[in-house]
């Protein structure tokens, strides 16, 4: 018996009059992609939040130790004490070696030198001859050239040579080899020109005076020459006006800078030298 037209229609539409079944799980692929992206995002945020900024800071300080205070040093060392042995700390922070509880950075050694020189000045009552300035990170001795040398000469007078030798012995007795220091001797003059066959300019005379004083400190202290250097400034680093005899007398001087840091920026700081007047 032939199929009716209704039956044939039902066959074409899938039979039984039912609608075709639709897929409903396509959203899962999009959802899985979103979850993966969110997980990646949160993992990245977690990694960034745990960046070891302290360790990065420690190595930055290691590259620029002048900015590291003793308190910062001990805080960093305590935090990373398990990561590095004592030799590693000494390599990274050579100026801050030592046992905890001691004064890191050799500051105790500087203070010992200051106290010994201060006691010597007080006992000899020579405040007018030697000035000592101690600021924790450096020690400065300032000696008048008018007392150290005869006018126009560069050889230390016998009286002042004895005092220079005593200062050298203080350096020897208080010097701590764990904390190498830099000892810089600088010569200064007033702005009165000098022109002789031996000293064509103030540069020359300030250079030789600094060198002669350095030689006394070096030979009497018996310290390694690598700790010493000298500079000649002539009349170009005044600490007082050159318009008066008193001011010029202050400008004629020898200075000894003792510091734990090489190329201490304070040395060239005009505010540190307290320029109180013109140099002409």
Which of 102, 127, 142 corresponds to the end of one domain? 102
Q: Are 257 and 139 within one domain?
A: yes
User: Are the C-beta atoms of residues 163 and 208 closer than 8 Å to each other?
Assistant: no
Rg (CA), the chain: 38
Q: Are 155 and 249 within one domain?
A: yes
For residue 234, the domain's CATH number is 3.30.1330.60
The percent of the chain in helix, strand and coil, each rounded to the nearest 5, is 50, 15, 35
pLDDT in tens, 158-198: 989 999 999 999 999 888 777 778 899 999 999 999 988 99
pLDDT at 103: 45
pLDDT at 32: 83
Q: Are 159 and 259 within one domain?
A: yes
How many structural domains comprise the chain? 2
| 90 contacts: CB under 8 Å, gap ≥ 6 | 97
Q: Are 138 and 243 within one domain?
A: yes
Q: What is the mean pLDDT of the chain?
A: 77
What does the alpha-carbon distance between residue 232 and residue 142 come to, in Å, rounded to a whole number?
15
Within the chain, which residues score under 50 in pLDDT? 1, 97-104, 263, 266-280
Tokens 């745990």 label which residue? 50
Strand order of the β-sheet with 228-234 is 130-134, 138-144, 253-259, 182-188, 228-234
Q: State the residue range of the domain holding 251.
A: 105-273
Q: CB atoms < 10 A from the CB of 220, how many?
A: 17
Which of 102, 137, 157 corresponds to the end of one domain? 102
Q: Are 139 and 205 within one domain?
A: yes
DSSP string covering 192-260: -----SS-SSHHHHHHHHHHHHHHHHHHHH---GGGEEEEEEETSS-SS-SSSHHHHHHHSEEEEEEES
Q: Are 119 and 58 within one domain?
A: no
DSSP string covering 17-37: TPPPPPP--THHHHHHHHHHH
pLDDT at 111: 85
Domain assignment present for 252: yes
pTM summary value: 0.59
User: Are the C-beta atoms of residues 101 and 221 closer than 8 Å to each other?
Assistant: no
SS3 121: helix
User: Are the C-beta atoms of residues 110 and 138 closer than 8 Å to each other?
Assistant: yes
Domain assignment present for 3: no
Domain assignment present for 12: no
Pick from 236, 237, 229, 235: nearest CA to 256: 229
Q: Are 90 and 197 within one domain?
A: no
Q: Are 134 and 84 within one domain?
A: no
Which of 102, 131, 155 corresponds to the end of one domain? 102
What does the alpha-carbon distance between residue 124 and residue 118 come to, in Å, rounded to a whole number?
10
Name residue 258's beta-bridge partners.
139, 183
Q: Are 197 and 170 within one domain?
A: yes
Work out the angle at residue 109's Cα, subtended by the Cα atoms of residues 106 and 111, and round it to the nearest 5 degrees. Answer: 110
Q: Are 138 and 230 within one domain?
A: yes
Domain assignment present for 220: yes
Q: Are 180 and 259 within one domain?
A: yes
Q: Are 114 and 142 within one domain?
A: yes
């Amino acid at each position: 018996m032939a199929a009716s037209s209704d039956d044939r229609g039902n066959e074409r539409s899938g039979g039984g009059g039912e609608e075709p079944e639709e897929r409903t799980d396509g959203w899962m692929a999009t959802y899985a992609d979103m979850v993966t992206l969110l997980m990646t995002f949160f993992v990245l945020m977690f990694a960034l939040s745990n960046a070891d900024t302290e360790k990065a800071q420690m190595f930055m300080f290691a590259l620029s130790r002048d900015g590291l205070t003793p308190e910062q040093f001990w805080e960093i060392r305590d935090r990373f004490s398990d990561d590095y042995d004592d030799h590693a700390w000494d390599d990274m922070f050579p100026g801050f070696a030592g046992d905890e509880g001691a004064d890191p950075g050799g500051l105790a050694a500087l203070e010992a030198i200051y106290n010994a020189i201060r006691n010597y000045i007080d006992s000899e009552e020579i405040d007018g001859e030697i000035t000592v300035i101690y600021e924790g990170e450096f020690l400065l001795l300032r000696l008048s050239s008018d007392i150290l040398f005869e006018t126009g000469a560069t050889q230390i007078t016998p009286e002042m040579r004895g005092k220079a030798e005593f200062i050298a012995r203080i350096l020897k007795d208080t010097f701590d080899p764990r904390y190498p220091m830099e000892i810089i001797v600088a010569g200064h003059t007033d702005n009165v020109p000098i022109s002789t066959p031996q000293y064509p300019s103030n540069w020359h005379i300030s250079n030789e005076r600094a060198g002669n004083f350095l030689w006394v400190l070096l030979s009497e202290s018996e310290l390694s020459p690598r700790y010493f250097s000298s500079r000649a400034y002539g009349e170009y680093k005044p600490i007082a006006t050159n318009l008066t005899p008193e001011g010029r007398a202050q400008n004629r001087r020898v200075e000894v800078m003792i510091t734990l840091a090489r190329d201490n920026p304070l040395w060239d700081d005009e505010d540190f030298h307290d320029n109180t007047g013109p140099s002409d």
